């Protein structure tokens, strides 16, 4: 039986375009239903997108409940999808009381109270437990990446990337760029060499003419207005600078590294989640901090993981020199000097093992350090080890970032463990900065050894 579904959402130069865009994705999940949108005719709206998608639209003069009720009765609506910060619990409850058979699906990403049958929070940061007491007991909760709304363009196949000396950077500060940051970010990016920059925006951007004029003078910057190729641009990019919003869900799906700059208060939950999980974030735009974040990102992207089984003899000898250095050796289980013969024999033995991987980490200028994953188990856990070239300083966080990303994204591991001596305060602080928790302690050679654990929250 065909159902009549009403979407209540607005778009404008102030509100942005994200609500309508994600509603259009959700609407496709109901192919056998009659879809109607109810939206106001606000300045900078994208109501034309609704019409272009083949749906009917009722133009509202206000956000008044009585006006919306007339539309519900006119179309004999079975379910209403509410994607609007201006509609609250009391509004929803009144709608329900006046339309007993009406089903309500409410979007939420700020953990507000709702009177609904289904609550949808499709963000990376969504936490089902936080809705306890905020929705009726009978409410169906749809939270997290399982429910992420992605346009069809994100599910297509892309050709293999062509490697170039340029770094491809995507700037996506929202369809309206409410804080007018596009130009400021590009100015910072242009202080680096070999930058090819793509900017995504829409006609809802009040500063579009100024942005067009600015970009017109730059050969390395391309402006994309109302583009349907966001997924393609993400795929072709080395990293993105974006807001902690729905765009983060898309970048995460595309495995695109990013720097997220908070521009609105309603981005707080995603921002906090990203910060807790060691993504690169800023709570506001700051030229100096953005420059540092970009520099770190470039360094991180230049890191290469070279499996020990593919090392040259010189690489192997170099690693042995690090391993036997007093500053490294004193934190090892085995503090004996390792001979070259035993060292080479151990590396050769790795060819026949699938329970451990060792990597030499390099960037364009240096050999940085060693990271390893050992005792890789079927239950998706592994023990992590890390040590840095004793001649270098300041690379711990970059190394940790690289190996956690590899372990969780490439190997799909669920848990990482690390055993760290209590007196190794530098290492303990590094692990804690990446949210490793001490779960147990033990004695080793009369020294206290902490077992630390990191759980992949997305598995």
* Residues tagged active-site: 19
Report the sign of the C-alpha dihedral through residues 398, 186, 260, 27, in that order: negative
Q: Which of 137, 112, 108 is nearest to 22 (CA)?
A: 108
For helices 182-189 and 208-215, angle between their N-to-C axes, nearest 10 degrees: 20
Contact 433, 399 (CB under 8 A): no
């Amino acid at each position: 039986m065909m159902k009549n579904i009403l979407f209540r959402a607005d778009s404008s130069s102030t509100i942005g375009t994200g609500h309508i865009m994600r509603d259009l994705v959700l609407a496709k999940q109901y192919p056998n239903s009659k879809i109607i949108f109810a939206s106001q005719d606000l300045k900078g709206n994208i109501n034309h997108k609704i019409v272009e998608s083949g749906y009917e639209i009722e133009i509202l003069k206000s956000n008044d409940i009585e006006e919306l009720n007339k539309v519900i009765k006119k179309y004999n609506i079975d379910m209403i999808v509410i994607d609007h910060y201006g509609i609250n619990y009391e509004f929803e409850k009144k709608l329900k009381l006046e339309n007993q058979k009406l089903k309500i699906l409410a979007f939420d990403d700020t953990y507000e109270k709702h009177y609904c049958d289904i609550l949808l929070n499709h963000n990376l940061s969504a936490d089902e437990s936080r809705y306890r007491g905020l929705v009726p007991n009978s409410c169906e909760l749809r939270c997290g990446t399982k429910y992420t709304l992605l346009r069809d363009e994100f599910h297509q196949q892309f050709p293999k990337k062509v490697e170039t000396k340029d770094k491809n950077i995507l700037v996506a500060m929202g369809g309206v760029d409410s804080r007018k940051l596009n130009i400021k970010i590009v100015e910072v990016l242009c202080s680096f060499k070999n930058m090819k920059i793509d900017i995504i925006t829409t006609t809802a951007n009040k500063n579009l003419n100024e942005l067009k004029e600015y970009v017109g003078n730059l050969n390395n910057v391309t402006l994309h207005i109302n583009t349907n190729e966001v997924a393609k641009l993400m795929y072709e990019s080395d990293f993105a600078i974006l807001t902690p919003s729905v765009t983060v869900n898309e970048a995460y799906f595309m495995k695109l590294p990013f720097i997220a700059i908070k521009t609105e208060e309603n981005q707080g939950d995603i921002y906090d989640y990203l910060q807790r999980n060691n993504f690169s974030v800023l709570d506001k735009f700051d030229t100096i901090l953005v420059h540092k974040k970009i520099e770190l990102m470039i360094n991180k992207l230049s890191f290469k993981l070279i499996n020990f089984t593919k090392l040259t003899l010189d690489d192997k000898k170099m690693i042995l020199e690090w391993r036997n250095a007093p500053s490294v050796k004193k934190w090892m289980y085995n503090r004996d000097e390792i001979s070259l013969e035993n060292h080479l024999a151990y590396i050769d033995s790795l060819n026949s093992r699938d329970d451990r991987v060792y990597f030499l980490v390099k960037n364009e200028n240096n050999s940085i350090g060693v990271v390893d994953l050992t005792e890789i188990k079927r239950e998706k856990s592994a023990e992590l080890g890390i040590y840095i070239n004793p001649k270098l300083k300041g690379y711990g966080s970059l190394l940790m970032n690289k190996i956690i990303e590899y372990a969780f994204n490439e190997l799909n591991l669920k848990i990482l463990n690390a055993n760290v001596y209590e007196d190794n305060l530098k290492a303990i602080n590094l692990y804690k900065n990446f949210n490793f928790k001490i779960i147990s302690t033990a004695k080793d050679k009369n020294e206290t050894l902490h077992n630390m654990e990191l759980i992949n929250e997305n598995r």
